[in-house]
Amino acid sequence: MRIQVAINEGVLAVQVGDKSISLDPKRDSNSDFTFVSHAHTDHLSLRKKKRNVSRKILASQATAVIANFRGHDLETPIDIPEEYNLVDTGHILGSRGFLIPDELFYTGDISMRDRAFLKGVKPPRAKNLIVESTFARPEYVFPSLEKCVHETNELISKMYSRGIPLILMGYPLGKAQLLTEFFRHWDPLIVHESVHEMNSVYRQLGIPLKEGMTFSQAKENGMIQRGVPWIMISPFMSRSAEFIKTMKSSCNAVTVGFTGWATRARFRQVMGLDYAIPVSDHCDCNELLEIVRYCNPEKVYTIHGFADYLATRLRTLGYEAEPLMSQNKRKGNGSHQIRKIPHSKNQSLIDSYFS
Ligand SMILES: [Zn+2]
Ligand SMILES: [Zn+2]
């Protein structure tokens, strides 16, 4: 089967026989099908759909529900044509890779690790592999999840014994729900309003997350005061955010950030976090190579983050590999690169770095 992979006017698309499929396009294209791997904003079109234009969406139902909840006008996914498969990629709830058996696998964002209600991917074999490369550089090796959760539990325990609350920060879609699940046994469990909303979407989709209480409920209950320990699941906020400044001055709260970028030695300090734990929803550099080995492709295309680096590394290992310039990179606002860690007060900018 002849497969052509190309980026046309910023849209990644594959041509398979007489059909074209655009992959996570940031804008509408004329392809026959539009595949949406998951509901993070860097994989979704920000535009409203054009009237009377059917994009024939290939995606999981969960992705459509979450995307629409986040304000994207994503049409109902069509029934998957029998020549295509969607593969659970274990990145967030509903995340899928696009597979034409034996021929093509596009990973979207991908994780090999089982994490609470998420199952790590079992990569399929395919002659052509398009693989994400967010954490492809050799400095990104993540410790085991068990170790990270254990260390965090010990930290919470230590802080509780001193009456100190903790703000556990992660990306509000995906990471925050895992944090809610990992640390559900701690009381009181407070969830930031934005996390509370997304947690209820997950519950609607069948993931029985603990409800906890919102920050305003906790405040009404008189829990936000010095000497009263709690944990709060929150989006990433910079040290200069008013909320963090208030929590530090009023109740001595400590902040803990959860992201793969925490592998970088200076990340914690630059972000102004008290603690940083390298829990990621992506593969680390070794796992990316493992994906490629499992898939056993004749040709690899790398996309997002360190795409050039991964392609070069794969060529030294004997693979035919080529980087694809990411759509985000062209626009210069990619969430899969961390050229400069933001000090910004702009929450959406901060969020965009940690998806
Ligand atoms: Zn993602
Ligand atoms: Zn992404």
Name 164's Cβ contacts closer than 8 Å, sequence gap at least 6: 229, 251, 252, 253, 254
Ligand showing the shortest atom-to-Cα distance for residue 303: 2
Cα(291) to centroid(ligand 2), Å: 17
Beta carbons of 31 and 18 less than 8 angstroms apart: no
- pLDDT of 287 > 80? The answer is yes
What would the mean pLDDT of 299-324 be, rounded to a whole number?
97
Cβ atoms of residues 89 and 105 within 8 Å: no
| Paired sense of beta strands 3-8 and 126-132, if any | unpaired
Q: How far is the CA of 106 from the centre of ligand 2 (A)?
A: 13
Pick 76 or 327 by higher pLDDT: 76
Q: pTM for this structure?
A: 0.92
Report the range out of 72-76, 131-135, 350-354 with the highest average pLDDT.
Answer: 131-135
> 288 C-alpha vs ligand 2 centroid, how far in Å?
15
Q: Give me the sheet containing 11-16, strands edge to edge.
A: 3-8, 11-16, 19-23, 33-35, 57-58
Q: Does the pLDDT at position 350 exceed 80?
A: no
Predicted pLDDT of residue 54: 67
Residue labelled with tokens 């006017």 = 9
Whether pLDDT at 285 is above 50? yes
Say yes or no to pLDDT of 121 above 80: yes
CA pseudo-torsion sign 261, 266, 272, 278: positive
The reported pLDDT for the residue numbered 343 is: 44
Extract the tokens encoding 140. 């990104």
pLDDT digits (tens, 9 = 90+) for 313-339: 999 999 999 999 744 454 444 456 554
Q: What is the DSSP letter of 75?
A: P
* Residue 341 pLDDT: 47
Q: What is the DSSP letter of 225?
A: S
pLDDT at 28: 80
Strand-by-strand arrangement of the 275-277 sheet: 213-214, 189-191, 231-234, 166-169, 254-258, 275-277
Q: How confident is the model at residue 340 (pLDDT cuts 50, 70, 90)?
A: very low
The full set of domains in the chain, from first to last, is: 3-139+281-340 (3.60.15.10), 145-277 (3.40.50.10890)
pLDDT band of 353, cuts 50, 70, 90 = low
Closest ligand by atom to 26 CA: 2
Query: What region, left, alpha or beta, does residue 209 occupy, with left being phi > 0 and alpha being psi -120 to 50 degrees?
Result: beta
Q: Contact at 8 Å (CB) between 62 and 93?
A: yes
Amino acid letter, 160: Y
Question: Which residue has better confidence, 150 or 349?
Answer: 150
What number is the average pLDDT over the span 167-187? Answer: 97
Query: What ligand is nearest to the CA atom of residue 43?
Result: 2
* 171 alpha carbon – ligand 2 mean position (Å): 12
- Which chain residues have CB less than 5 Å from ligand 2, an ion? 40, 42, 109
- For the segment 142-158, the average pLDDT, to the nearest whole number, is 98
* Averaged pLDDT of the chain: 91
Q: How far is the CA of 245 from the centre of ligand 2 (A)?
A: 30
* pLDDT level of residue 8 (50, 70, 90 thresholds): confident
pLDDT tens for each residue of 25-66: 988 888 999 999 999 999 988 666 555 566 899 999 999 999
Ligand nearest to the CA of 335: 2
